[in-house]
Amino acid sequence: MKDALRTLANFRLEQAQESLEAAQILFDSEKYRPSVNRAYYAMFYSVLALLALEGKGSSKHSGIISQFDRLYIKNGVFEKETSKWLHEAFDLRQRSDYQEMFLITPERARRVLENAATFIKTIRSEILKPDSSSGMSASKGCTPSKAREE
């Protein structure tokens, strides 16, 4: 079971990295709303990786964010600032996807993108820590080669 959870966590980290790279490409193309969307999803997938190792999850984004705050922010695993970055990205993603005529400035999109990169790096470092309760050392990590292609 632990190997399956590690495999899932690695897959989620891959999704996070791909989303972050897509966010950068969109930002460079001056597509700020979709850039923020992808930056948020990069953060979201990294939290899913972290929670996967704990055998936790949720069908709602708000549930994932709530678990992250409860398990990792309140317990001091991560700084409160990381939670603020996630909440800001979630809020902007929601507003830019569903609110009419909502614009995101290049400056704000850049900040979200930079925060997302730091967020993912922080989460990945925690996951790869050998002494972390949720950690999986690099030598123990499984590759997501069992992922289904569709």
Q: Which is more confidently placed, 42 or 134?
A: 42
| CATH number of the 2-128 domain | 1.20.120.330
Do the Cβ atoms of 53 and 136 come closer than 8 Å?
A: yes
Alpha-carbon span 59 to 47, nearest angstrom:
13
The full set of domain ranges for the chain reads 2-128
Give residue-wise pLDDT tens across range 84-102. 999 999 999 999 999 999 9
Give residue-wise pLDDT tens across range 38-78. 999 999 999 999 999 999 988 899 999 999 999 999 999 99
In whole angstroms, how far apart are CA 20 and each of 5, 45, 66?
22, 10, 22
What was the pLDDT predicted at 21?
Answer: 98
Tokens 């791909």 correspond to what residue? 18
The whole-chain average pLDDT of the chain stands at 88
> pTM of this prediction?
0.86
For 26, what's the count of Cα atoms within 13 Å in the CB-facing half-sphere? 20
Q: Which is more confidently placed, 147 or 31?
A: 31
3-7, 9-13, 24-28, 140-144: segment of lowest average pLDDT: 140-144
